[in-house]
Structure 1
Amino acid sequence: MNKKKRLTNGLSLLLTVYALLSPLFSLKLEAKYTTSIKSITNQNHLQTTITGLITDTHGQPIGGVTILVEQSDKGTISKMDGTYNIRAAGNGQLIFSAIGFKTLTIPINGRKKIDVTLQEDITQLDEVVLNAGYYTVTEKERTGSISTIKAITMEQQPVGNPLAAMQGHLSGVNIIQSSGVPGGGFNVEIRGRNFIDGASDPFYLVDGVPYNAQSLGSSNVSGQILGGNISPLNALNLNDIESIEVLKDADATAIYGSRAANGVVLITTKKGKTGKTRFNAHLSTSLGRVSNFLELMNTEQYLEVRREGITNDGFGPFLEDPAFDFIWPDIKSWDNDRYTDWQKKLIGGTAYRNSAQLSVSGGSSDTQFLVSGAYNKETTVFLGDANYKKATLHSNLNHKSSNHRFKFNLSTSYTNEKNRMPRTDFTSKAYTLEPNGPELYDAEGNINWENNTWDNPLASLEETFEVTTNTLIANALVSYEIIPNLEFKSSLGFNSYRLDSYRTLPSSARNPNLGLTPQNYASLTTNGSKRNSWIVEPQLHWRKQWQELKLDFLVGTTFQEENTEQFIQKGTGFPNDELLRNLTAANTLEVLQYADSEYKYNALFGRLNLKFRDRYIVNFTGRRDGSSRFGPGKQFGNFGAVGMAWLFSEENSLQGNPLLSYGKLRGSFGTTGSDNIGDYKFLDTYNVSGFDYNGIVLLEPTGIFNPLFGWEANKKLEAALELGFFKDRILINSSWYRNRSSNQLIGIPLAATTGFSELTGNFDATVENSGFEVDIRTVNFKKKNFTWSTTFNLTIPKNKLVAFEGLETSTFANHLIIGEPLTIVKLYNALGVNPETGSYQFEDYNGDGTIGSLEDKQWVEDFGPKFYGGLGNTITFNHVTLDFFLQFKNQKAFNEIAFGATPGYRGNSSTALLDRWQQPGDMNPIQRASGGLAFGEDTGALQKSSNAAVSDASFIRLRNISINYKVPDLGNGLDLNVYVQGQNLLTLTNYKGPDPEQPSNTRLPQLRQITLGLQLGF
């Protein structure tokens, strides 16, 4: 009992003690817990180093991201490989921000490693990263004038040349297609024509490799169909191009120095993307036809004015004499009731283009690849089996090391083109052949010569013209981050362009009545040309930030060499037409041209970009060029520019403004130059004459030694204002520019007694191009299932010759006037038709009583555009997207009078000539008919060179329209797009000629095209 009682008493005591001490025990536990919390809190206030990797949603690292510690002035910028490190307290927050991405705030929570994925911020400005050549810049922060067109816009157009896809889309860029024949060339002017006697072609680069756009074709071979204007840019497959940037002002172009006087065109091809291996197939077929036929006389109208003209010339009685029937077979021998619409017969066919492309791409976050192959075949609207074939192979490999310090990119493109065309463009014949002309074939199916009374146009199909080109472009870009923010990189590029063409001219292609045989007439002309160039550009790129000041420094050097060879020869007289392709069978062999030239170029370039508080930006660029095209002491030139920008919308007083979301003032000034004069112009040069003396090949002098001429200079000035409204739903970019090109390199004409046609030298002449450009982009409506956006661009250019010492006494006085544009034409001033005589009248400026001298050509017409631009709209509703683009231009051009001013001549002409003078007192605009047999002054020829032959050629053209349907919910990673595209479907113009944009009656106009295609991805 006592023992049990003692145990019970003991437990009671313990419970009593616990009850008494429990409040104290509780306080001690609470105090211990509080001490632990304070310890942790003190720990979180300690500064620790936090590291991590910043990537986008595709797994690609993002350099240049700003990382700030919230509620502090501490910050840093991520490296080019996306890594960063920053010291911050463990309980703080980090703010990650970058242009083009949504700002992200992340709590640290004591972590020492934080990897971040930033979401793209799809805004009008920050998403656009522009290629400026040696560097990239966002549209928001650029200080120069750069226009761009993306793949999504180019792929909506059924064209084979990237220049055709650019037409009308870019302000300040005027592009004219020279022919609607496949493989034809383009004329490109960026902010006008700068040089009196030089090419206006800009400087092209494809993935950083200089690309010479000068064709090695020759009119000796290609004749009328293409001339020498075979665009090398046809080699580029439009579907392989990611974007095209056009650099225009001094700030954007001066870093390219002497090669950028006429602007720079940067073409960037597509690259592989991170993700699983993906295949994409693209198939399309197009139909094309001539969009506009001229109003020509029918048989009845033609024969009426023909007979009337012969009678007016005093030869009417001979029309009834059978002995003279051979003089005018169109009236006496041919069927006067027959009518042939030669436009429909010769150029009224349907051109087909079939294209197929297959690509495969994919890769990891460190290595991406793309391989693409395409084949294209295009026919013409002409009779015959003419066609143009193009096969392309494009590849891109992009790799970076695991630590992201080493990077490598290899891009290659190879193209084989085979263009088989008739040597003669049938367009001129289609406009001028007599409407009652004979049948093309006789009863046996042979070419019909109608008793040797006409030249059958199909005889030219007996001629063979073929041009084959092979183009290779390759570039390797290697970079290595030496230390943080200091990167070494080098670009190594190679370009090979080979052109082989031939033309056969058999005796069967000419009227048998001429008595021509293979032995005395048949000929073969060949052109074998090639151009190889390489370029190496090592560079150093350094970035640094000091609180609110950011510095971006680039320095590099260029080593470039280009070698060109051209060999054109002609063989005449062959045993028979079957041996025409064998030059060794020719009776006579002559060298028409042989050239072997070498061009070497070396430069040092640099860029310094300073940005303060993300709103004040200054950009310095410079280049020192050395060219082998100048003599000793003249080989080097210095070029440079400064660009400035003020993002005034970033000022505190304007931030958050509900109306103005973006505002920037920018300006630039600098100098570029040009050495675009050809090789060896400063030396005594000789060429093979094409003749021989007793079997010895002769050389003839072609150039005089002149080591004194030097670089052309182009000083560029620009001021611009950029505005954005309603959160960038409306963006307006307006700029004024003035370019002055001086020290003009001109071929100075020499007297014939010197034995030379000209001497290349510098003239004290200045050409000024100024103008105003405006680009507007709007997001008119944006909802989940419906969006509508608009683009608009307008260019108002002005060109004038500011100064030209000794112009009045030079041969240039025939077509140049100080104070007027280079695009003027001097003409006679037409005074209408004399109502008594029925002849054209003109103003006699020099008062000598006659018309025809140059002194009487005092009327000036400017054929340069007054303004031009484009308007585009994109409307998306659910899975359907509609795009349409209107191009417009205000200009003048030669009308139908320039190609025929007198009715009654042999050969058809415009119905406008029917409104002719027929008797005294008539007040008609067209003079009396003539058969071309009258003696005396040819007033019709004068009229063709008068202001009566000029009219308004302004137009508004539906350049392209596209309807795309994306088939939804296919599953298994399948994507299918089906589309219909139209090109040149409608043109609104008062111009009566074939094409207001291409006012010529000898070249095939641009075609109207309809394309059906599909894109499949899996």
Structure 2
Amino acid sequence: MIRIATLASLFLLWGSCEVAMAQNAVQGRVTDDQGNALPSATVMTASGKGVFTDLDGQYTLAVSAGEQTLTFSFIGYLNTVKTVNVRAGEAKTLNIRLREDAVLLNESVVVGYGVQRKKEVTGAISTIDSKEITAVQTPSFEAALQGQAAGVQVTQGSGMAGSGSIVRIRGLSSISAGGDPLYVIDGIPITQDYFAGGNSGAMNRNPLASLNPNDIKDIQVLKDAAATGIYGSRGANGVILITTKRGVKKGIQVSYGSSIGYGEPTSRANMMNTEEYLTIRQEAWENDGGTGYVWLPYLTTAGSSPETRKAAFERAMETNTDWFDLFSRRAQKTQQNIGLRSGGEKWSMYNGVSYDKNESYAVGNSYTRTSARTNFDWTPNDKIKVLLSGSTSKGQNQRVRGGWSGGIGAAMSTALPYMAPYVVDSTFDANGSLVSTERNYELNRWFNPMAYQDFVQWRETERRQIATGQIIVTPHERLDIVMNGGYDNSKLENDSYENSALDRTNGFAYGNWSEYNARNYNVGANATFRAIDRDTTSLAILVGAEAQKFESDGFGFNLRDSQGPAYAMPALRDSLFGLHDSLYDAVSTVTNAYVNQYRTDGFASTFARVNYNLKDRYFFQATARVDGSSRFGQNNRFGFFPSAAAGWVISDEPSFKSETISFLKFRTSWGRTGNASIDGFSRFALYNDQTQGATYAGDTIVFPTQPGNPDLRWETVETIDASLEMG
């Protein structure tokens, strides 16, 4: 009995010691911003002792009495560090909400200079993920926005490969300036000049075609003043925020995608055949008082004899050409993508390579893009994070004429059905053997679109590099400081060649080669202070500043007696790049060398935003931004653009009870935005000289062409928005 009692006493003593030790503990639940449990989250002391949360996010960590520093972490979320004081025998409760990492967002929404929970958003924002962007093959990523977000209208300019799309967010908000939205990639605005190459060939280039849709993680479309107000004048037409893919925390992920598709015209023009055209033309001729057979363009004139007109009419009836069929086709689209995501404890990386060839329905037209991207993230400690991104791309657009310029446009207008595209002339030797064949373009080659299709070679090449960097410093758990910079460099090379057969006067072959360069520099910094950071109430204040500089220049040559396009003649192309007169004179004659005027614009801004969350169902936001642009007169160079917004989640009210509606939110906003998309020379007094040799008292005559305007001011728009969201 004594031995048994002793053993029982030992067990009771050991058990009481375990209970006493367990009472020195920290326990609680780890969740995300929306209160969802985070299973397998790590809770660790400064000494390295730690536990994982269970399936419900619950944890219990035994600690020594006294002050303890705990680190809470979970993949895809920012680490949270808390210091607690645990008394002897105390089981302290500490519930933690982890904020999602700005790079690996899930249910959060990217907004200007930050992120917000969808519940907190007071502006009109639509989110489009990568699957929706790449689900359908489109000429470029912005064309995939059509039908993906309410209020966003996308119109393709011409259907040609590499052509620009017109994107309008909630219509056009300007009567005198540009209407294109601002595009921001990983926090840095990019260049988007649709007119860098002019509109030759009845088509503007697409500055966004160089972006690989498969590198995009998601897109946020900011529509109203509450969402775009933080961008001031730059957000007057809406903002499209593009977030690219990043690496993974651990391990390696490899992805490969290949696709092939076909495209055809969505509808064919209902063109008349030869019999229908001649019947209507004959009827019009007779209604106008004419007699006999009608005269036919390219064959006869109104003054031709009746016999000549009859012969031409009968000859025309022998030919029936479907020009639209000749200039259109079933286009093929191919795409290859390889992605590699990797990472370690403190770093992660994404690498992507893509090849894309996109043919259009117009014969001879195609756009080929090769691109590569690298995104690198480094977190040396829990207070510093470095994000680096870089991409390079090369886009080659094999151009053909369209619209008013010819090609498919001529096939639906000036190319008449009784015109044959060409006949083949064959040459035989004395023995009857075929020596050669040659296309003879009927009815005057200068009015035959097939001749221009065969005798004109035209290619545009764009080389683009975009580099961005961001440093996020968290000196205090409630303070984040972000410093960023970006560089966007674009070189557009335009190279065309016309065969001597098209020169009706001298029989010369002509070439045109030019290069346009655009450089965009961005630097900025902002700080966010969370003055109140409780579960149901928060107050965040953002202040920041940024500056942008844009430069452009270029040069070009008009060539005569060229032997072909410069892209097919490396020696000629190299000499044009190097401006080596002796070399390019050896292969062609330069009739004109010209320089595109150097242009530069500056932009400087300061901004602030306040977000207040009351009881996690009343949300308020106010923004203010001051923009300064060198494009405006010196008396009105700066503009002030404020906005205010509020949101109320009605479904979170205790009195709200509904079996059919689980989420109900009302939001409203007001804001003032400006527009700086005007010509950079609008404020200057411009003059021109008399170029026809006239003088006054022996001096050159100079006359004004545009008066100076130091009072040129911002165009401003005030917007009021209200909506009701339910689900």
What TM-score bracket applies, with the shorter chain setting the length? 0.7 to 0.9
| Paired residue type of 1:713 | T
User: Which of 244, 250, 275 is matched with 1:300 structurally?
Assistant: 275
1:541 and 2:528 matched: yes
| Corresponding position of 1:437 | 419
Q: 1:329 to 1:716 in 2, by over 3 A?
A: farther
Q: 2:350 aligns with which of 351, 366, 370?
A: 370
Does 1:703 pair with 2:696?
no
Correspondence for 1:470 among 463, 467, 481: 463
Going from structure 1 to structure 2, the CA distance change for 1:284 and 1:50 (only over 3 Å counts) comes to closer
Output the amino acid matched with 1:151. S
- Correspondent of 2:715 among 696, 712, 717: 712
Distance 1:339 1:49, change over 3 A: closer
Counting only pairs closer than 5 Å after superposition, residues 250-329 of structure 1 correspond to structure 2 as 250-317=225-292, 323-324=304-305
Measured in 2, the distance between the counterparts of 1:468 and 1:162 equals 19
Residues 569 and 590 in structure 1, CA contact (< 8 A), matched pair in contact too? yes
- Are positions 1:195 and 2:182 aligned together? no
Question: Taking structure 1 as reference, are residues 61 and 398 closer, same or farther at Cα in structure 2, changes over 3 Å only?
Answer: farther
Q: Distance in 2 between matches of 1:280 and 1:474?
A: 24
Letter in 2 for 1:661: S
CA contact (8 A) 1:69 1:95 kept: no
Matched residue, 2:50:
none
Residue by residue, what CA displacement relative to the aligned partner does 1:647-690 show, whole Å, maximum 9, x if unpaired? 222223337x5433222221111211111112132112357999
CA distance in 2, matches of 1:579, 1:276: 49
Contact 1:416–1:471 at 8 Å: present in 2 too?
A: yes
Which residues in structure 2 correspond to 1:100-249 (within 5 Å)?
Answer: 127-219=106-198, 223-226=200-203, 229-249=204-224
**2:635 aligned residue:** 633
Query: Retained in 2: the 8 A contact 1:423–1:463?
Result: no
Query: Does 2:323 correspond to 1:342?
Result: yes
Residue 299 of structure 1: CA displacement?
A: 2.2
The Cα shift of 1:350 comes to: 2.1
Secondary structure of residue in 2 paired with 1:368? strand
- Picking from 449, 452, 463, the partner of 1:457 is 449
Residue 517 of structure 1: which of 491, 506, 510 is its match?
Answer: 506
Q: Distance in 1 between matches of 2:557 and 2:399?
A: 20
Answer yes or no: is the 8 Å Cα contact 1:53–1:61 preserved in 2: no
Instruction: Determine the C-alpha separation between the residues in 1 that align with 2:398 and 2:233.
Output: 37
Residue 480 of structure 1 aligns with an amino acid whose one-letter code is V
Residues 27, 93 of structure 2: 8 Å contact kept: no
SS at match of 2:439: coil
1:691–1:35 CA distance, 2 compared to 1 (3 A):
farther
Structure 1 match to 2:519: 532
Task: Tell me the TM-score normalised to structure 2 length.
Answer: 0.80
State the distance in 2 between where 1:496 and 1:153 align. 29
Structure-2 separation of matches of 1:709 and 1:77: 56
User: How many Å separate the matches in 2 of 1:648 and 1:212?
Assistant: 41
The question of 1:82 aligning with 2:80 is answered yes
Give the TM-score taking structure 1 as reference length. 0.58
Alpha-carbon separation, structure 2, partners of 1:67 and 1:692: 87
Matched residues, number? 654
Partner of 1:739: none
For the residues of structure 2 that align with 1:198 and 1:609, how far apart are their CA atoms?
31
Tell me the secondary structure at the aligned position of residue 201 of structure 2.
coil
Aligned to 2:611: 609
| Separation in structure 2 between the aligned mates of residue 411 and residue 291 of structure 1, nearest angstrom | 39
Residue 297 of structure 1 deviates from its aligned partner by 1.9
Matches within 5 A, 1:39-78: none
- How many Å separate the matches in 2 of 1:431 and 1:52? 66
**In 1: Cα distance, 2:334 partner to 2:606 partner:** 46
Alpha-carbon distance, 1:61 to partner: 11
Query: Which SS does the other structure have where 2:662 is aligned?
Result: strand
CA distance in 2, matches of 1:276, 1:697: 74
Q: In the alignment, is the contact (CA less than 8 A) between 1:605 and 1:623 conserved in 2?
A: yes
Q: How does 1:444-843 map to 2 (within 5 A)?
A: 444=426, 445-450=437-442, 452=444, 455-461=447-453, 462-509=455-502, 515-519=504-508, 522-545=509-532, 547=534, 548-567=536-555, 570-571=558-559, 574-575=560-561, 584=585, 585-586=588-589, 588-589=591-592, 591=594, 594-654=596-656, 658-685=659-686, 702-724=705-727
Is contact 1:277-1:360 (8 Å) kept?
A: yes
Structure 1 contact 204–264 (Cα < 8 Å) conserved: yes
Distance (Å, rounded) in 2 between the aligned partners of 1:313 and 1:133: 66
Counterpart among 313, 316, 338 of residue 358 in structure 1 = 338
Separation (CA, whole Å) in 2 of partners of 1:632 and 1:58: 60
Spell out, residue by residue over 1:417-456, the C-alpha distance to the aligned partner (whole angstroms, 9 max, x if none). 1112123452222223322222423233533333649822
Partner residue in 2 for 1:826: none
Distance in 2 between the 1:397 and 1:534 partners? 21
State the 1:313 CA deviation: 2.1
Cα distance, 1:467 vs structure 2 = 1.0
Shift of 1:178: 0.8
SS at match of 1:297: coil
Letter in 1 for 2:653: E
CA contact (8 A) 1:447 1:458 kept: no
Q: Which runs of 5+ in 1 are unaligned?
A: 1-17, 71-75, 102-119, 121-125, 725-1018
| Equivalent position SS for 1:594 | strand
Deviation at 1:30, TM superposition (A): 8.5
SS of 1:649 mapped into structure 2: helix
Identity %: 25
Shift of the 448–672 alpha-carbon distance from structure 1 to 2, 3 Å rule, reads same
Aligned equivalent of 2:63: none
Give deviations 1:364-395, integer Å, cap 9, x for gaps. Answer: 24211111111122334334x44322110111
In structure 1, distance between residues paired with 2:258 and 2:689? 49
* 1:820 corresponds to: none
* Whole-angstrom distance in 2 between the partners of 1:446 and 1:398: 61
Q: 1:693 to 1:622 in 2, by over 3 A?
A: same
Query: 1:542-581: per-residue Cα shift (whole Å, max 9, x none)?
Result: 224365531222211102111112445545xx34655998
Q: Deviations for 1:921-972, whole angstroms, at most 9, x for unmatched residues?
A: xxxxxxxxxxxxxxxxxxxxxxxxxxxxxxxxxxxxxxxxxxxxxxxxxxxx
Matched-pair contact (CA < 8 Å) for 2:246–2:375 = yes
Aligned-partner Cα distance in 1 for 2:91–2:168: 60
- In 1: Cα distance, 2:478 partner to 2:180 partner: 37
- C-alpha contact (below 8 Å) 1:50/1:85 kept by paired residues: no
Does the CA-based 8 Å contact 2:631-2:681 persist in structure 1?
yes
